[in-house]
Amino acid sequence: MSIAFAEQVTATLFKDHYDLNVDTIRELNQALHNPDLTSSIEHWTVSHPAGQHNIAVGINAPVKVTIDGHAGYYCAGMNQQAHVVVNGNVGVGVAENMMSGSVYVKGNASQAAGATAHGGLLVIEGDAGARCGISMKGVDIVVGGNIGHMSCFMGQAGRLVVCGDAGDALGDSLYETRIYVKGTVKSLGSDCIEKLMRQEHLDELKELLEQAGFDADPSQFKRYGSARQLYNFKVDNAAAY
């Protein structure tokens, strides 16, 4: 192998910018899964995503990835450790099954944002669609705008913060997820009730808002959680299941 060719291969292998007009999603994700590369490159950039699906999925390294444009389905899914920023909107299932790290969406998100996520922080500066935080298992989700119907359905753990309004059936059949909403809630789901906002919750909410970069007054929010009536089957509650 000539020295010139070896240098060309090395430059291609260790590049930190992927243009999805030229490069493929597979090439990007394979590079982000390569520990030799993620230990050498701290900040990756992705241009011309053009709404393609599965961008920056399955990362397990403390790197930063900036996506300049709109992303499609499951962007930053299964994230661990990484800090992913999307300078645009995202499709269904952003940060789905995230374990740790953070995902910041500078635009709006479609349905099922943060679905089944176990940890980390998901921030959506705009609105989120239906089923935001469905079956969330420990993730923190902060939404700057509104969320759609059936959000936090079967939410098991974590915190959901909404700086706008919430749609129908908020928190339906949830377990121990804590929900904070500044605006109006169209309706609450089965077993979800408004709860007292104590000082510990104000402190918790303030910290979450600061982490997300939002300047909002925690005292203007209401807290919602489980009434704990559906934990065990009761025939009298059969219609609510």
Q: Poorest-confidence range of 105-114, 173-182, 221-230?
A: 221-230
- CA separation for the pair 93, 89 (Å, rounded): 12
The answer to whether residues 93 and 115 touch, using CB atoms and an 8 Å cutoff, is yes
Q: What is the mean pLDDT of residues 138-145?
A: 98
pLDDT digits (tens, 9 = 90+) for 182-205: 999 999 999 999 999 999 999 999
Judge whether residue 87 has pLDDT over 70.
yes
Report angle CA 83, 57, 19 to the nearest 5 degrees: 85
pLDDT attached to residue 6: 40
Q: Is the pLDDT of residue 80 over 70?
A: yes
- 9 token code pair: 């291969």
Mean pLDDT, all residues of the chain: 92
In this predicted structure, the answer to whether residue 156 has a pLDDT above a threshold of 60 is yes
Q: Map out the domains of the chain as residue ranges.
A: 47-229
pLDDT of residue 228: 87
pTM for this model (two decimals): 0.91
Q: How far is CA 136 from CA 16, 50, 119, 142, 238, in A?
A: 32, 28, 9, 13, 24
Tallying the residues shown for the chain, one arrives at 241
Q: Does domain 47-229 have CATH number 2.160.20.60?
A: yes
Lowest mean pLDDT among 19-23, 57-61, 228-232: 228-232
**pLDDT above 80 (res 1):** no
